[in-house]
Amino acid sequence: MNRILTGAVAAAASVAFVSEAAALEWNVSVWGKRRAFTEHVEKLAELVAEKTNGEFTMNVSYGGLSKNKENLDGISIGAFEMAQFCAGYHRDKNRTITVLELPFLGVDNLNEEVAVSHAVYQHPAVKDEMAQWNAKIIMTSPMPQYNIVGTGEPRDTLDKMKGMRVRATGGIGNAFEAIGAVPTSVTATEAYQAMESGVVDTVSFAQHAHLSFGTINKADWWTANLNPGTVNCPVVVNIDAYEALSPENREALDSSIDEAIAHYLANYGELLKKWDQILDEKGVQKVVIADEELAKFRKMAADPIREAWIVDMSAQGIPAQELYDLVMATLEKTRAGN
Protein backbone atom coordinates (compact mmCIF):
# COMPACT_ATOMS: atom_id res chain seq x y z
CA MET A 1 0.00 0.00 0.00
CA ASN A 2 2.85 2.37 0.90
CA ARG A 3 4.49 1.65 -2.47
CA ILE A 4 1.21 2.41 -4.28
CA LEU A 5 0.73 5.70 -2.42
CA THR A 6 4.36 6.68 -2.97
CA GLY A 7 3.98 5.98 -6.67
CA ALA A 8 0.78 8.01 -6.85
CA VAL A 9 2.39 10.97 -5.10
CA ALA A 10 5.39 10.80 -7.43
CA ALA A 11 3.13 10.66 -10.46
CA ALA A 12 1.12 13.64 -9.23
CA ALA A 13 4.29 15.59 -8.57
CA SER A 14 5.55 14.72 -12.03
CA VAL A 15 2.33 15.95 -13.65
CA ALA A 16 2.46 19.18 -11.64
CA PHE A 17 6.09 19.74 -12.65
CA VAL A 18 5.37 19.17 -16.32
CA SER A 19 2.39 21.52 -16.16
CA GLU A 20 4.47 24.19 -14.46
CA ALA A 21 7.31 23.73 -16.93
CA ALA A 22 4.92 24.03 -19.86
CA ALA A 23 3.64 27.41 -18.65
CA LEU A 24 5.51 30.38 -20.08
CA GLU A 25 5.62 33.97 -18.79
CA TRP A 26 7.12 36.88 -20.68
CA ASN A 27 8.13 40.13 -19.01
CA VAL A 28 7.10 43.26 -20.91
CA SER A 29 8.74 46.62 -20.23
CA VAL A 30 6.74 49.81 -20.77
CA TRP A 31 6.58 53.04 -18.70
CA GLY A 32 4.27 55.57 -17.12
CA LYS A 33 0.89 54.06 -16.37
CA ARG A 34 -1.71 52.14 -18.34
CA ARG A 35 -3.10 54.51 -20.96
CA ALA A 36 -4.20 54.70 -24.61
CA PHE A 37 -0.55 54.35 -25.65
CA THR A 38 -0.27 50.91 -24.04
CA GLU A 39 -3.70 49.46 -24.76
CA HIS A 40 -2.50 47.27 -27.63
CA VAL A 41 0.16 45.74 -25.37
CA GLU A 42 -2.46 44.98 -22.73
CA LYS A 43 -4.83 43.57 -25.37
CA LEU A 44 -2.07 41.43 -26.84
CA ALA A 45 -1.36 39.93 -23.42
CA GLU A 46 -5.07 39.26 -22.90
CA LEU A 47 -5.50 37.56 -26.29
CA VAL A 48 -2.40 35.40 -25.96
CA ALA A 49 -3.45 34.20 -22.52
CA GLU A 50 -6.93 33.35 -23.85
CA LYS A 51 -5.65 31.48 -26.88
CA THR A 52 -3.22 29.39 -24.84
CA ASN A 53 -5.54 28.75 -21.89
CA GLY A 54 -3.20 30.64 -19.64
CA GLU A 55 -0.11 28.66 -20.62
CA PHE A 56 1.54 31.72 -22.19
CA THR A 57 1.16 34.93 -20.20
CA MET A 58 2.70 38.39 -20.25
CA ASN A 59 3.60 40.45 -17.22
CA VAL A 60 3.30 44.09 -18.34
CA SER A 61 5.52 46.23 -16.11
CA TYR A 62 5.17 50.02 -16.01
CA GLY A 63 8.71 51.14 -15.23
CA GLY A 64 9.61 48.24 -12.97
CA LEU A 65 11.98 46.56 -15.41
CA SER A 66 13.83 49.40 -17.10
CA LYS A 67 13.94 53.12 -17.77
CA ASN A 68 12.13 54.03 -20.98
CA LYS A 69 15.35 55.14 -22.72
CA GLU A 70 16.94 51.78 -21.92
CA ASN A 71 14.25 49.38 -23.14
CA LEU A 72 16.06 48.55 -26.38
CA ASP A 73 19.23 47.80 -24.41
CA GLY A 74 17.23 45.53 -22.11
CA ILE A 75 15.84 43.64 -25.09
CA SER A 76 19.32 43.24 -26.57
CA ILE A 77 20.63 41.41 -23.48
CA GLY A 78 17.43 39.44 -22.84
CA ALA A 79 16.59 41.24 -19.59
CA PHE A 80 12.94 40.94 -20.69
CA GLU A 81 11.16 39.47 -23.68
CA MET A 82 9.06 42.39 -24.98
CA ALA A 83 9.26 46.16 -24.74
CA GLN A 84 7.99 49.43 -26.12
CA PHE A 85 10.37 52.25 -27.05
CA CYS A 86 10.34 55.52 -28.97
CA ALA A 87 12.79 56.17 -31.76
CA GLY A 88 13.51 59.72 -30.62
CA TYR A 89 14.92 58.49 -27.30
CA HIS A 90 17.99 57.01 -29.03
CA ARG A 91 18.08 57.96 -32.69
CA ASP A 92 21.55 56.49 -33.21
CA LYS A 93 20.29 53.00 -32.25
CA ASN A 94 17.32 52.95 -34.63
CA ARG A 95 18.29 55.23 -37.50
CA THR A 96 16.15 53.55 -40.14
CA ILE A 97 12.79 54.10 -38.44
CA THR A 98 13.50 57.80 -37.85
CA VAL A 99 12.15 58.31 -41.37
CA LEU A 100 8.74 58.00 -39.69
CA GLU A 101 9.55 60.95 -37.43
CA LEU A 102 10.36 63.40 -40.22
CA PRO A 103 8.23 66.56 -39.84
CA PHE A 104 5.22 67.20 -42.04
CA LEU A 105 5.11 63.77 -43.68
CA GLY A 106 1.44 64.31 -44.41
CA VAL A 107 0.07 61.39 -42.40
CA ASP A 108 -3.50 62.37 -41.61
CA ASN A 109 -4.84 59.71 -39.24
CA LEU A 110 -3.97 56.70 -37.11
CA ASN A 111 -4.83 54.14 -39.81
CA GLU A 112 -2.32 55.79 -42.14
CA GLU A 113 0.23 55.86 -39.32
CA VAL A 114 -0.17 52.10 -38.84
CA ALA A 115 0.17 51.48 -42.59
CA VAL A 116 3.36 53.49 -43.10
CA SER A 117 4.97 52.23 -39.89
CA HIS A 118 4.35 48.56 -40.62
CA ALA A 119 5.55 48.97 -44.21
CA VAL A 120 8.82 50.51 -43.00
CA TYR A 121 9.24 47.85 -40.30
CA GLN A 122 9.21 45.16 -43.01
CA HIS A 123 12.06 46.75 -44.97
CA PRO A 124 15.23 44.60 -44.86
CA ALA A 125 17.37 47.52 -43.67
CA VAL A 126 15.07 48.03 -40.68
CA LYS A 127 15.04 44.33 -39.83
CA ASP A 128 18.83 44.19 -40.05
CA GLU A 129 19.32 47.22 -37.81
CA MET A 130 16.88 45.90 -35.21
CA ALA A 131 18.59 42.49 -35.31
CA GLN A 132 21.76 44.21 -34.08
CA TRP A 133 19.83 44.73 -30.83
CA ASN A 134 18.43 41.19 -30.91
CA ALA A 135 15.06 42.84 -31.52
CA LYS A 136 12.15 42.10 -33.83
CA ILE A 137 9.46 44.76 -34.28
CA ILE A 138 5.97 43.26 -34.06
CA MET A 139 3.75 46.36 -34.11
CA THR A 140 3.68 50.13 -33.85
CA SER A 141 2.06 52.38 -31.24
CA PRO A 142 0.28 54.78 -33.59
CA MET A 143 -0.14 58.33 -32.38
CA PRO A 144 -1.81 61.36 -33.90
CA GLN A 145 0.09 64.49 -34.84
CA TYR A 146 1.73 66.17 -31.86
CA ASN A 147 0.65 69.58 -30.56
CA ILE A 148 1.95 71.77 -27.78
CA VAL A 149 0.57 73.03 -24.50
CA GLY A 150 1.87 76.05 -22.66
CA THR A 151 1.13 78.70 -20.07
CA GLY A 152 0.63 82.43 -20.42
CA GLU A 153 0.11 84.01 -23.82
CA PRO A 154 -0.42 81.47 -26.61
CA ARG A 155 2.53 80.90 -28.93
CA ASP A 156 0.42 81.19 -32.04
CA THR A 157 2.99 82.60 -34.48
CA LEU A 158 6.50 81.53 -35.46
CA ASP A 159 7.87 84.80 -34.06
CA LYS A 160 6.38 83.98 -30.67
CA MET A 161 7.97 80.52 -30.85
CA LYS A 162 11.50 81.89 -31.27
CA GLY A 163 13.48 81.10 -28.14
CA MET A 164 10.63 78.95 -26.80
CA ARG A 165 11.93 76.05 -24.72
CA VAL A 166 9.90 73.07 -25.86
CA ARG A 167 9.88 69.44 -24.83
CA ALA A 168 10.16 67.78 -28.24
CA THR A 169 12.08 64.77 -29.50
CA GLY A 170 13.13 63.42 -32.89
CA GLY A 171 12.03 65.14 -36.06
CA ILE A 172 9.58 67.32 -34.14
CA GLY A 173 12.46 68.71 -32.13
CA ASN A 174 14.35 69.37 -35.36
CA ALA A 175 11.33 71.19 -36.76
CA PHE A 176 11.07 73.49 -33.75
CA GLU A 177 14.80 74.13 -33.86
CA ALA A 178 14.46 75.17 -37.51
CA ILE A 179 12.13 78.03 -36.52
CA GLY A 180 14.31 79.23 -33.66
CA ALA A 181 12.79 77.37 -30.71
CA VAL A 182 14.95 75.43 -28.25
CA PRO A 183 13.97 71.75 -28.07
CA THR A 184 14.86 69.51 -25.16
CA SER A 185 14.34 65.75 -25.13
CA VAL A 186 13.26 65.11 -21.55
CA THR A 187 11.33 61.86 -21.35
CA ALA A 188 7.56 61.67 -21.16
CA THR A 189 7.68 60.88 -17.45
CA GLU A 190 9.83 63.97 -16.80
CA ALA A 191 7.75 66.40 -18.88
CA TYR A 192 5.35 67.59 -16.16
CA GLN A 193 8.17 68.36 -13.75
CA ALA A 194 10.11 70.15 -16.51
CA MET A 195 7.06 72.29 -17.24
CA GLU A 196 6.33 72.94 -13.56
CA SER A 197 9.92 73.95 -12.76
CA GLY A 198 10.27 76.16 -15.83
CA VAL A 199 12.87 74.02 -17.56
CA VAL A 200 10.55 74.14 -20.59
CA ASP A 201 7.93 76.68 -21.62
CA THR A 202 5.86 74.24 -23.65
CA VAL A 203 5.46 70.49 -24.12
CA SER A 204 4.84 68.66 -27.40
CA PHE A 205 2.78 65.46 -27.03
CA ALA A 206 -0.08 63.55 -28.55
CA GLN A 207 -3.39 63.99 -26.72
CA HIS A 208 -3.20 60.86 -24.57
CA ALA A 209 0.22 61.85 -23.22
CA HIS A 210 -0.85 65.40 -22.29
CA LEU A 211 -3.59 63.71 -20.31
CA SER A 212 -1.63 60.80 -18.86
CA PHE A 213 1.47 62.75 -17.84
CA GLY A 214 -0.48 65.71 -16.47
CA THR A 215 0.85 68.47 -18.73
CA ILE A 216 -2.72 69.41 -19.68
CA ASN A 217 -3.29 70.23 -16.00
CA LYS A 218 -0.56 72.91 -16.13
CA ALA A 219 -1.69 74.32 -19.46
CA ASP A 220 -3.49 77.54 -20.33
CA TRP A 221 -3.67 76.69 -24.03
CA TRP A 222 -3.23 73.89 -26.57
CA THR A 223 -2.51 74.19 -30.31
CA ALA A 224 -5.19 72.39 -32.27
CA ASN A 225 -3.55 72.31 -35.69
CA LEU A 226 0.21 72.84 -35.48
CA ASN A 227 0.68 69.16 -36.43
CA PRO A 228 4.45 69.14 -37.06
CA GLY A 229 4.71 65.37 -36.97
CA THR A 230 4.60 62.50 -34.54
CA VAL A 231 6.91 60.11 -32.71
CA ASN A 232 7.34 56.50 -33.74
CA CYS A 233 7.21 53.98 -30.92
CA PRO A 234 7.45 50.30 -31.85
CA VAL A 235 6.79 47.25 -29.72
CA VAL A 236 9.63 44.76 -30.04
CA VAL A 237 10.38 41.24 -28.88
CA ASN A 238 13.71 39.63 -28.12
CA ILE A 239 14.57 37.49 -31.17
CA ASP A 240 15.90 34.57 -29.13
CA ALA A 241 12.77 34.48 -26.98
CA TYR A 242 10.54 34.70 -30.05
CA GLU A 243 12.34 31.90 -31.87
CA ALA A 244 12.20 29.72 -28.75
CA LEU A 245 8.40 29.84 -28.69
CA SER A 246 6.54 26.65 -29.48
CA PRO A 247 4.62 26.75 -32.78
CA GLU A 248 1.36 27.04 -30.82
CA ASN A 249 2.56 29.96 -28.69
CA ARG A 250 4.08 31.73 -31.67
CA GLU A 251 0.81 31.39 -33.58
CA ALA A 252 -1.09 32.75 -30.57
CA LEU A 253 1.20 35.80 -30.51
CA ASP A 254 1.35 36.47 -34.25
CA SER A 255 -2.38 36.01 -34.80
CA SER A 256 -3.23 38.50 -32.04
CA ILE A 257 -1.31 41.49 -33.37
CA ASP A 258 -3.93 42.79 -35.81
CA GLU A 259 -6.69 42.50 -33.21
CA ALA A 260 -4.54 44.28 -30.63
CA ILE A 261 -3.93 47.16 -33.06
CA ALA A 262 -7.65 47.33 -33.91
CA HIS A 263 -8.45 47.57 -30.19
CA TYR A 264 -5.87 50.35 -29.80
CA LEU A 265 -7.35 52.34 -32.69
CA ALA A 266 -10.90 52.03 -31.35
CA ASN A 267 -9.81 53.05 -27.87
CA TYR A 268 -7.78 56.03 -29.09
CA GLY A 269 -10.67 57.11 -31.28
CA GLU A 270 -12.87 57.40 -28.21
CA LEU A 271 -10.26 59.60 -26.53
CA LEU A 272 -10.12 61.92 -29.55
CA LYS A 273 -13.91 62.26 -29.51
CA LYS A 274 -13.75 63.45 -25.90
CA TRP A 275 -10.78 65.79 -26.33
CA ASP A 276 -12.69 69.05 -26.76
CA GLN A 277 -14.76 68.21 -23.69
CA ILE A 278 -11.56 67.56 -21.73
CA LEU A 279 -10.17 70.95 -22.77
CA ASP A 280 -13.38 72.67 -21.63
CA GLU A 281 -13.38 70.84 -18.30
CA LYS A 282 -9.79 71.87 -17.60
CA GLY A 283 -10.22 75.43 -18.83
CA VAL A 284 -7.63 75.08 -21.59
CA GLN A 285 -7.92 77.43 -24.58
CA LYS A 286 -7.96 75.76 -28.01
CA VAL A 287 -5.58 77.75 -30.22
CA VAL A 288 -5.81 77.56 -34.01
CA ILE A 289 -2.66 78.56 -35.88
CA ALA A 290 -3.20 80.69 -39.00
CA ASP A 291 -2.67 79.01 -42.38
CA GLU A 292 0.09 81.43 -43.37
CA GLU A 293 2.03 80.60 -40.20
CA LEU A 294 1.69 76.87 -40.88
CA ALA A 295 2.90 77.40 -44.45
CA LYS A 296 6.00 79.24 -43.17
CA PHE A 297 6.63 76.44 -40.66
CA ARG A 298 6.50 73.78 -43.37
CA LYS A 299 8.77 75.76 -45.68
CA MET A 300 11.40 76.22 -42.98
CA ALA A 301 11.22 72.70 -41.56
CA ALA A 302 9.83 70.08 -43.93
CA ASP A 303 12.03 70.06 -47.05
CA PRO A 304 15.35 71.10 -45.44
CA ILE A 305 15.09 68.53 -42.62
CA ARG A 306 14.03 65.74 -44.97
CA GLU A 307 16.85 66.48 -47.41
CA ALA A 308 19.41 66.69 -44.61
CA TRP A 309 18.15 63.39 -43.18
CA ILE A 310 18.47 61.64 -46.54
CA VAL A 311 22.03 62.93 -47.05
CA ASP A 312 23.09 62.05 -43.49
CA MET A 313 21.55 58.57 -43.45
CA SER A 314 22.78 57.73 -46.94
CA ALA A 315 26.32 58.60 -45.85
CA GLN A 316 25.91 56.03 -43.07
CA GLY A 317 24.92 53.29 -45.51
CA ILE A 318 21.16 53.56 -44.85
CA PRO A 319 18.88 53.39 -47.94
CA ALA A 320 17.31 56.69 -46.89
CA GLN A 321 15.70 57.73 -50.15
CA GLU A 322 14.23 54.25 -50.53
CA LEU A 323 12.74 54.39 -47.04
CA TYR A 324 11.25 57.84 -47.60
CA ASP A 325 9.82 56.77 -50.96
CA LEU A 326 8.30 53.71 -49.26
CA VAL A 327 6.46 55.97 -46.80
CA MET A 328 5.08 58.13 -49.62
CA ALA A 329 4.08 55.12 -51.74
CA THR A 330 2.36 53.46 -48.78
CA LEU A 331 0.42 56.62 -48.03
CA GLU A 332 -0.75 56.80 -51.62
CA LYS A 333 -1.71 53.12 -51.68
CA THR A 334 -3.56 53.36 -48.36
CA ARG A 335 -5.59 56.33 -49.49
CA ALA A 336 -6.40 54.68 -52.82
CA GLY A 337 -7.64 51.62 -50.91
CA ASN A 338 -9.93 53.76 -48.80
Closest CA to 223 of 137, 122, 148: 148
Q: At what angle do helices 110-121 and 257-282 cross, to 10 degrees?
A: 140
Domain 147-230+276-337 belongs to what topology? D-Maltodextrin-Binding Protein; domain 2 (3.40.190)
Each residue's pLDDT expressed in tens, for the chain with a length of 338 residues: 454 444 444 444 444 444 445 799 999 999 999 999 999 999 999 999 999 999 999 999 999 999 999 999 999 999 999 999 999 899 999 999 999 999 999 999 999 999 999 999 999 999 999 999 999 999 999 999 999 999 999 999 999 999 999 999 888 999 999 999 999 988 889 999 999 999 999 999 999 999 999 999 999 999 999 999 999 999 999 999 999 999 999 999 999 999 999 999 999 999 999 999 999 999 999 999 999 999 999 999 999 999 999 999 999 999 999 999 999 999 999 999 87
> Got the DSSP string for 165-182?
EEE--HHHHHHHHHTT-E
* Gyration radius of the chain over CA positions: 23
In whole angstroms, give the CA distance from residue 96 to residue 17. 45
Q: What is the pLDDT of residue 11?
A: 44
CATH tag, 24-141+232-271: 3.40.190.170
In whole angstroms, give the CA distance from residue 226 to residue 145. 8
* Structural contact between residues 157 and 228, judged by C-beta atoms closer than 8 angstroms: no
In whole angstroms, give the CA distance from residue 277 to residue 291. 25
* Structural contact between residues 210 and 275, judged by C-beta atoms closer than 8 angstroms: no
pTM of the model: 0.86
Phi, psi dihedral angles at 182 (to 5 degrees)? -120, 95
Per-domain residue ranges for the chain?
Answer: 24-141+232-271, 147-230+276-337
**DSSP 8-state code for residue 214:** S
Q: What is the pLDDT of residue 103?
A: 94
Q: What is the pLDDT of residue 170?
A: 86
In whole angstroms, give the CA distance from residue 83 to residue 188. 16
Please determine whether the domains at 24-141+232-271 and 147-230+276-337 fall in the same fold group of CATH: yes
In whole angstroms, give the CA distance from residue 314 to residue 49. 43
